[in-house]
Structure 1
Amino acid sequence: MNVSSEASSASTDLSRIKRGPIVAALIIGAFVAILNETLLNIAFPDLMKEFSISPATIQWLSTAYMLVIGVLVPVTALLQQWFTTRQMFLTAMILFLVGTIICGSAPVFEMLLVGRVVQALGTGLMLPVMMNTILVIYPPEKRGGAMGMIGLVIMFGPAIGPTLAGLIIDQLDWRWLFFLVIPLAAFSVVFAAVFLRNVSDITKPKVDILSIVLSSIGFGGIVYGFSKAGESSWSDPEVVWTITVGGIALVLFIVRQLLVREPILNLRAFKYPMFSLVTVMMLVLMMTLFSTMILLPLFLQTALLMTAFKAGLTLMPGGVINGIMAPISGKLFDKYGPRVLVVPGLILVLLSVWLFTDISVNTTAGYVITLHIILLVGISLVMMPAQTTGLNQLPRHLYPHGTAILNTLQQVAGAIGTALFISIMSSGTKDFMTKTPNATPAEGLVAGLHNAFVIALFIGVIALVLGFFIKRVQAPKEEEKHVQASENGSFNL
């Protein structure tokens, strides 16, 4: 860490900062953003009818959201060294509020997509700020519990989101999915303006424009290429060229980050083996998770012919249990370390995905609920403990870079996973319908889903293998002063 960074770290007085109001402000903002994301997923079938668009097109509401976050988040490591915690978070929530208003009033699909992009700008700024702030104000031995508490509140959004969305769509109109979020987002802005405090170190490093351009082309090109493949085919010249250009730009970006004195994304974080292991494992796991989140609502409403409300009710128990498990897994992590949670969690994820490969048009709602609960219990045992383990090994000056790396690769993996599995499902459906002309569309969809879940299962096995190598790590020596300052302060949640 350079001299200016050390000086700034020393000048950031954490001893008088209380955790409670800061964490509350972060949680409210994250809850609002994630609630809106889960509200929209279950509305996809209705939006397809409203705007007369295909599944490959509707996925852009999800893919573009993740694409923007994937392009923006690498830059947040730089932004957090230029702007205060308050400036970053308030800008993020105001952008999210504006995007929500645009979505709610959108007369055409293109305007709805623009609104989603503006929302994504807000979310992309907010997520790394939240994680970095937790790392700064909590000592390593208490971060599991803090992450678990955040997980509890954040998972309340996915728990009630699908059910609430189904009720709104059945009784009102899809636009109310956004109208109801507007007052919540506005409240988040006001609450953060009053209670949020600055905890970040402002070092104002040099801005490397070329790195930003290469990052945007690299991550953007790869995600766009995979998304386009979901619409057309993998042999489409546009798909081949965008993935190729994105890959080349990404390689150049990586090389430049290792050469410049002040990189916008410090890839030297990968010198820490546990952080590297967790990053790869989370990348693989997020592909499986995002694909399941997209495929299940389609299966429930298209194959099982459920209403949006009933589909939401079906997905609700898993979300509730996931939320309940978050603080429990956080406390267990602080006490026993990551491996006793991560390995069983990944086994549960694989078990649920394997059982999903055998679903059919005769599958009962109770069976889907059971598998969904197993999946999300497994996820709750893996997500926060694994991420916290990886970030705990980093020195403090790499926190913004570590959180940016994790958030970037997770969002990119989610976008690629969504596009990949939608493509696999669509291709499998077409093949089945061609070979079985008398089959119903629901049977064709199920055949496509089988193919997608089989691939997800193989990808999940990779995550499990990596999970066996995760272990508790010690905080770097430079953390000791930070921990001492934390313990001397008035830190009550």
Structure 2
Amino acid sequence: MNERVSLKDMLSIMAVALVSFSGIMAETAMNVTFPVLAEEFHTALNDIQWVTTAYLLAVTVMMTTSAYLVKRYSSRSLWLASIFIFILGTLICGLAPNVAFLLLGRILEGIAAGIAMPLIFNIVVATVPYTKVGTWMGLAAMVISLAPSFGPTYGGALVDTLGWRSIFFILLLAPLTSLLVGWKTVGEIKRPSLNKSFDLLAFVLLAICLTASLLLVNQLENGAVNWTWLSVALITLIAFIWRGLTSVQSFLNLRLFTKVKFVSLLIPIALYMFIMLGLNLIIPTYLQTFLHTSSFWAGFSLLPGTLLGAFLTPLFGRFYDFKGPKLPLYLGNTIFTLVVLGIAIWSRHLSLIPIIGLYIIFIIGRNMAYTSAQTAAIADEDELEKADATAIVQTLQMFMGALGTTVGALLQAKSGVVNGLQHFTWLAVILAILIFALITGYFFEKIALDNNH
């Protein structure tokens, strides 16, 4: 068996990753433009925030279709579709005369990223030898992880110099580079033919459920539960589950949720995203409001950890390839737990430098465990189920990331900046202990299944 990854496969992974990088870069860069956009379009700041919410929703909904798309269409067709949709959406954003067109462009960018992000990991598990899949999952994750690091700095610099529209026009270089790199390298992946038709009803039910859930979560920031959105979310979720278990058409394989081994890793992956994005919102606010640091230092506080974590991710993947999932999962979650426990205990006595240091250690532990959990969750499944596993993992991550941000904002709004940080990190400690239990459950189930074979 050939254990080497060919240059062609390397370049194809890089080409698809560039599209995902572009989408996340645009999303994080726009977060610094809200006051400027509100003034230019004479719109309330709450309405402008839909520029990000609409994008996240489009990504999340589109990711649910990735399992079907990967089985039905070639990787090359999906890659090209994601590029051209992204370019179209980016041009609409850059030329937008009002908020409605800007939202349309952001939704198109979200659709493109929702196609490309799961596609990267599908290409990795389909083309990379099993003994190197951890390293390459880490490399793919690294490319995506770098975008949030650079996005705010990139957006802030351009807003102050060339104007907010330049964010989109300059960003077009990424999909164009992807075309150059991938034109002769992104090819077909051999997969069994799919004869089933797309289950449109299941897709619509899940899309409504996710939309209602995000709207419900956004409403929680006002301190009240919107019972209409809650009812819609619950009814459509129940209808979606019923449809998924009874339909003969193809959408998502919900029977993966009956596999203890898969769910035991899926929940930690989602919780890691929930906690990280929650802290990413809370820490800069804490620094500015409680410690009275400048906006620059508040934003910079997360950059060293994010950059180091991104560059270490491929090494964590290699660690997984050599040692398997047990050591990186337990070691990573131990580091992760100790850091959030430390922040919870000393939240009233922290200063800028300790926060930067703690966040670096936090990201090291989080990325070590998260990368191993994501690799094992997908790589453990049969070939026919890898695409479904990827779609479920990516979709739940996006949703839990949005939930973490909202919970962080809600705790700070209700409890104050310092208490909000303390309450969120104590919640993180409880969740980290739950993750230990789930990881242990994963290995017990793995041993049981291995003994049965």
TM-score bracket for the superposition, by shorter chain length? 0.7 to 0.9
Tell me, yes or no, if the aligned pair for 1:349 and 1:375 is still in contact at 8 Å. Answer: yes
1:398 corresponding residue in structure 2: 385
CA distance in 1, matches of 2:44, 2:290: 16
Q: TM-score scaled by structure 2?
A: 0.86
What SS does structure 2 have at the residue aligned with 1:196? coil
2:354 corresponding residue in structure 1: 367
Q: Give the direction of change, closer, same or farther, for the CA distance of 1:180–1:121 in structure 2 (3 Å limit).
A: same
- Per-residue CA deviations over 1:93-129 (Å, capped at 9, x if unaligned) read 2222222333334455554433322211111111121
User: Following TM superposition, by how much is the alpha carbon of 1:377 offset from its aligned partner in structure 2, in angstroms?
Assistant: 0.8
User: Following TM superposition, by how much is the alpha carbon of 1:306 offset from its aligned partner in structure 2, in angstroms?
Assistant: 4.8
Tell me, yes or no, if the aligned pair for 1:165 and 1:312 is still in contact at 8 Å. Answer: no
Gaps of 5+ in 2: none
1:212 corresponding residue in structure 2: 203
CA distance in 1, matches of 2:378, 2:263: 10
Tell me, yes or no, if the aligned pair for 2:268 and 2:435 is still in contact at 8 Å. Answer: yes
Q: Which has the higher contact order (CA 8 A, sep 6+)?
A: 1
The aligned amino acid for 1:463 is I
The aligned amino acid for 2:441 is F
Matches within 5 A, 1:5-20: 18-20=8-10
- Does 2:116 match 1:126? yes
The aligned amino acid for 1:142 is K
Tell me, yes or no, if the aligned pair for 1:283 and 1:409 is still in contact at 8 Å. Answer: yes
Tell me, yes or no, if the aligned pair for 1:85 and 1:200 is still in contact at 8 Å. Answer: no
1:10 corresponding residue in structure 2: none
Tell me, yes or no, if the aligned pair for 1:82 and 1:205 is still in contact at 8 Å. Answer: no
Q: Give the direction of change, closer, same or farther, for the CA distance of 1:76–1:284 in structure 2 (3 Å limit).
A: same
- Does 2:138 match 1:148? yes
CA distance in 2, matches of 1:174, 1:301: 24
The aligned amino acid for 1:373 is I
The aligned amino acid for 1:286 is M
The aligned amino acid for 2:245 is L
The aligned amino acid for 1:181 is L
CA distance in 1, matches of 2:409, 2:249: 39
User: Following TM superposition, by how much is the alpha carbon of 1:301 offset from its aligned partner in structure 2, in angstroms?
Assistant: 4.7
CA distance in 2, matches of 1:233, 1:338: 41
User: Following TM superposition, by how much is the alpha carbon of 1:277 offset from its aligned partner in structure 2, in angstroms?
Assistant: 1.0
1:351 corresponding residue in structure 2: 338
Tell me, yes or no, if the aligned pair for 2:408 and 2:420 is still in contact at 8 Å. Answer: no
Q: TM-score scaled by structure 1?
A: 0.80
Q: 1:383 aligns with which of 336, 350, 370?
A: 370
2:431 corresponding residue in structure 1: 459
- Per-residue CA deviations over 1:402-452 (Å, capped at 9, x if unaligned) read 1111111111212222223222222224xxxxxxxxxxxxxxx44444444
The aligned amino acid for 2:257 is F
Matches within 5 A, 1:234-253: 234-235=224-225, 239-253=226-240
Tell me, yes or no, if the aligned pair for 1:31 and 1:157 is still in contact at 8 Å. Answer: yes
Gaps of 5+ in 1: 1-14, 430-444, 478-493
192-201 or 250-259, larger mean C-alpha shift: 192-201
User: Following TM superposition, by how much is the alpha carbon of 1:304 offset from its aligned partner in structure 2, in angstroms?
Assistant: 4.7
The aligned amino acid for 1:285 is Y
Q: Once the two structures are aligned, what percentage of the paired residues are identical?
A: 27
Matches within 5 A, 1:289-300: 289-300=276-287
Q: Give the direction of change, closer, same or farther, for the CA distance of 1:332–1:52 in structure 2 (3 Å limit).
A: farther
- Does 2:441 match 1:469? yes
1:264 corresponding residue in structure 2: 251
Tell me, yes or no, if the aligned pair for 1:166 and 1:310 is still in contact at 8 Å. Answer: no
User: Following TM superposition, by how much is the alpha carbon of 1:322 offset from its aligned partner in structure 2, in angstroms?
Assistant: 0.6
Tell me, yes or no, if the aligned pair for 2:271 and 2:400 is still in contact at 8 Å. Answer: yes
Tell me, yes or no, if the aligned pair for 1:288 and 1:460 is still in contact at 8 Å. Answer: no
2:302 corresponding residue in structure 1: 315
CA distance in 2, matches of 1:115, 1:299: 33
User: Following TM superposition, by how much is the alpha carbon of 1:22 offset from its aligned partner in structure 2, in angstroms?
Assistant: 1.6
What SS does structure 2 have at the residue aligned with 1:469? helix
CA distance in 1, matches of 2:331, 2:39: 41
- Does 2:416 match 1:416? no
User: Following TM superposition, by how much is the alpha carbon of 1:160 offset from its aligned partner in structure 2, in angstroms?
Assistant: 3.2
Say what the alpha-carbon RMSD is for the aligned residues: 3.1
Tell me, yes or no, if the aligned pair for 1:73 and 1:404 is still in contact at 8 Å. Answer: yes
User: Following TM superposition, by how much is the alpha carbon of 1:337 offset from its aligned partner in structure 2, in angstroms?
Assistant: 1.2
The aligned amino acid for 1:192 is G
Tell me, yes or no, if the aligned pair for 2:285 and 2:298 is still in contact at 8 Å. Answer: no
1:66 corresponding residue in structure 2: 56
User: Following TM superposition, by how much is the alpha carbon of 1:87 offset from its aligned partner in structure 2, in angstroms?
Assistant: 1.3
- Does 2:274 match 1:287? yes
The aligned amino acid for 1:405 is I
CA distance in 2, matches of 1:55, 1:297: 19
